[in-house]
Structure 1
Amino acid sequence: MTVEVERAVAVRDPDAVAASPVVTRRRNRERLHALDGLRGVAAFLVVLHHVLLIAQPVSQPPGEPAVLSGWWWLERTPLKLLTAGHEAVIVFFVLSGVVVVLPALRRVDFSWPGLVVSRVVRLMLPAWAAIVFATALLLLVPRVPQQVTGGSWLAGQVQSDWSWQRLVVEFSLMGNSVPYNNVLWTLKWEFLFSLLLPGFLVVAVLLHRWWLPTGLLAVGLGVAGTVGGIEALEYLPVFFLGTLIAVRLRAIEGWSESRRAKRLLAVILPASLLLLVIEFLLAPVVPEGSDGSHALIGLEALGGAGVVVVAGAATGFRRFLEGRVPQFLGRISFSLYLVHLPVLATITWIVGDWNWPIAAAVGIPLAVLTGWGFFRVVEKPLHKVARSAKRGASRAVERYVRSDRTV
């Protein structure tokens, strides 16, 4: 998703910048490509995460991986970042909190009804198309149980038989899982955030001067939600962290130009990345499923926020994300996210999960190619529809308000 960030023509006092939460209009605009690139990298990590899940029942020995073994390197070292799927979703949520809020900060007369309608078109319609795509693959390629390991993630979490009743339920996207394409569970939280955005924005603007305690409070609520098994408390504070970053974005960019800030950001990035996978790194001493493990999962939100801050600042990481490959992945990131799992699952059911290297070698490039095609055929045209729907909803509400006043 592309973000437009408006910079001041002249350099201003950092304290004055920090005190102004609303991004004003200016002639010189610059698209913050780094956030697009970060979304693309995160989407590709979700693909690798699902490849790992497909390979796991066949290639991972039972119990704790032996030190220096292949699985130990993948699960107990920072290399886990290469397959950190849930953690990439946390980054998605923080990014949504940033990019959805920025247009509202640019205009005092921003249309909230228009935003909701636009988000429905841009999120729900592509998701419905992805469910149709996944269902078509399911009907074309029968899911023979013998082709995957019994009790594996693929056998239990991805739909293997046809049921029109179940399909109707899936189109609501409000369940905790969407077996026809189970990555779509995240859209429920995206929709809820869209509805709660005005409140989130008001709180972020009011408390933007106290951004550090406010952000830490949001992280604390997320940890409490994770430990307590309260999903709304686990995920919605993550979006709020993105909202707070959006309100502070100009201040972050101005601050990041200083030499001292660059040194600090060079520490924040690796620390944030480690926080994203801290649960895996400490698994030998903090057992999986314990309250301590859940607390570490809750801290992923802080890591995700740190990564987004560094991506939005003037750093080498930002320049990397503005490169050609991250930008391509960023352009198709939502489409890649929507269609990659049906592609990987179908290839795996054809060759068998014991041939997961073949499934990965064929499925990963095919998923990227399918994501690009889905973007061109489905997602990109719907961007225009979303803009038209946004304008139409805004005008309809405005006409209603005016007519009500004349009664």
Structure 2
Amino acid sequence: MNNRYEQLDSLRGLAALFVVFHHLFLSFSSNHFLVTFLKLSPARLLVQGHAAVIIFFLLSGFVLALPILRGNPINYMHYIIKRFCRIYIPYAVAISATILISIYISDGQLQQYTDFINQSWQEPFSFSLMWEHLVLIGNPHTVVYNPVIWTLIHELRISILFPFIVLLVKKLNTIYVLILCAALSLIAGLAGILSTITVNGYHTSLFDSLHYISIFMIGALVAKNKTVLSTLYQRFTKMQKISFLIMAVLLYSYSDVLSKDFFHIIPFRFYVSEYGLALGSVLLIIMALASRKISGLLNLPLLKFLGKISYSLYLTHMLVILSLLHLLHDRISMPLLLTLSGLVSILTAIICWYFVELPSMKLGKYLTKSRKNSVPSLEVRQEA
């Protein structure tokens, strides 16, 4: 029996593609006509990179929670080995390639490009920088080589605890889980105000991980209540479903804009905006699960393949963009160069999927299979 929700893989793939669009978008000057168009038009959906990250976290919570919610015992040691192979090994290959390539082809400041592009590949190589990037869950300077890696820090940190967190989600009433989520974000917000600890990366403190645990937990809640939520959606009238879609798109596209540009008096408005993004993303996930039309669209072979390569695309696209910009910035026009960067990013992701990511997952399965009788196990079980 195939218990995999392939339409959610496709949704993850689209989110990864939107992150690529977002970073290409950030390469343009703020007064460029394309930037203005994407900021003000419904096409804003396509360049909402941070909202796409929230989808990643929600889907990770959803997928990791399913086996435990179904009552399957989880061998904790096997779980950790598989997560390490799934996340860290492709990351280690990608960041090593990034460091090596940046040493040889960095062309200093690229005057025609934005601060977003010029924040990376400017620092001279040092073993301390390399080491902090290899020890990922510490306090690395995440923008020095590849600014996307801040999310992987949270993925790894939270993955270590998540089987036990799912048991809590399983046991508690939904309203208590949501209260706990709000409390974790409140602690993170207060700590951000009161803490004097230097954070080298973008939202990579341990307190930030507390907040993002709440997003993972919401993903687990969706998994726990997926049947009820799907049934509720399917009972909607056509007009209600259209309203549901409009609300999902508006929350996903504009929650951060409202908190940043309009609602300055709201305390902890960054976290409020992230919950707005999370709510919009949850609505999209519900539609992916419950709507035959949307599910059918997401199950198209091209989108399913995009879902397969989504992690490789996320990992390597900034390597491609920065490499091409540093090599060709004075040779071809910016629009053509950024278009080429997007296409080469997809090709690179396909190569990385086949030769790095897929073998890493197979290694995780092999290690957990071959060590079954020799590795001490800590089983994470549900109460009967």
- Give the TM bin, normalised by the shorter chain: 0.7 to 0.9
Secondary structure of the residue aligned to 1:161 is coil
In structure 2, relative to structure 1, the CA distance for the partners of 1:251 and 1:29 (3 Å cut) is farther
Q: Does the aligned pair in 1 maintain the 2:133–2:140 contact within 8 Å?
A: no
Q: Does the aligned pair in 1 maintain the 2:9–2:304 contact within 8 Å?
A: yes
**Cα distance in 2 between the residues matched to 1:190 and 1:150:** 30
1:279 to 256, 261, 265: 256
C-alpha deviation, 1:53, in angstroms: 1.4
Q: Does the aligned pair in 2 maintain the 1:158–1:182 contact within 8 Å?
A: no
Q: Does the aligned pair in 2 maintain the 1:134–1:181 contact within 8 Å?
A: yes
Q: Does the aligned pair in 2 maintain the 1:138–1:160 contact within 8 Å?
A: no
2:169 to 199, 204, 229: 204
C-alpha deviation, 1:350, in angstroms: 2.2
In the alignment, is residue 370 of structure 1 matched against residue 348 of structure 2? yes
**Cα distance in 2 between the residues matched to 1:349 and 1:392:** 45
C-alpha deviation, 1:288, in angstroms: 11
Could you say which residue in structure 2 is the equivalent of 1:35?
8
Secondary structure of the residue aligned to 2:74 is coil
Secondary structure of the residue aligned to 1:260 is coil
C-alpha deviation, 1:330, in angstroms: 0.4
Could you say which residue in structure 1 is the equivalent of 2:55?
91
In the alignment, is residue 269 of structure 1 matched against residue 245 of structure 2? yes
In the alignment, is residue 388 of structure 1 matched against residue 377 of structure 2? no
Q: Does the aligned pair in 2 maintain the 1:75–1:280 contact within 8 Å?
A: no
C-alpha deviation, 1:296, in angstroms: 2.1
Could you say which residue in structure 2 is the equivalent of 1:188?
153
Could you say which residue in structure 2 is the equivalent of 1:122?
86
Bigger Rg over Cα: 1
Superposed CA deviations along residues 179-203 of structure 1, whole A, max 9, x for unmatched, are: 2222122112111222222332122
Of 271-280 and 38-47, the range deviating more from structure 2: 271-280
Could you say which residue in structure 1 is the equivalent of 2:197?
none
Gaps of 5+ in 2: 193-206, 380-384
In the alignment, is residue 325 of structure 1 matched against residue 287 of structure 2? no
Matches within 5 A, 1:66-145: 70-141=34-105, 143-145=106-108
Q: Does the aligned pair in 1 maintain the 2:181–2:217 contact within 8 Å?
A: no
Q: Does the aligned pair in 2 maintain the 1:148–1:349 contact within 8 Å?
A: no
1:308 to 277, 285, 290: 285
In structure 2, relative to structure 1, the CA distance for the partners of 1:262 and 1:247 (3 Å cut) is farther
Secondary structure of the residue aligned to 2:159 is helix
Q: RMSD over aligned Cα, in angstroms? A: 3.0
In structure 2, relative to structure 1, the CA distance for the partners of 1:180 and 1:159 (3 Å cut) is farther
C-alpha deviation, 1:328, in angstroms: 1.7
**Cα distance in 2 between the residues matched to 1:159 and 1:118:** 35
Q: Does the aligned pair in 2 maintain the 1:286–1:293 contact within 8 Å?
A: no
C-alpha deviation, 1:389, in angstroms: 2.2
Secondary structure of the residue aligned to 1:29 is coil
**Cα distance in 1 between the residues matched to 2:351 and 2:334:** 24
Could you say which residue in structure 2 is the equivalent of 1:360?
338
Matched residues, percent identical?
A: 26
Q: How many residues align?
A: 360
**Cα distance in 1 between the residues matched to 2:94 and 2:265:** 33
Superposed CA deviations along residues 260-318 of structure 1, whole A, max 9, x for unmatched, are: 27764543333123222322256543359984455323422222222222222234222
**Cα distance in 1 between the residues matched to 2:239 and 2:3:** 25
Taking structure 2 as the reference length, what is the TM-score of the superposition? 0.83
C-alpha deviation, 1:104, in angstroms: 2.8
C-alpha deviation, 1:355, in angstroms: 3.9
**Cα distance in 1 between the residues matched to 2:161 and 2:377:** 24
Taking structure 1 as the reference length, what is the TM-score of the superposition? 0.79
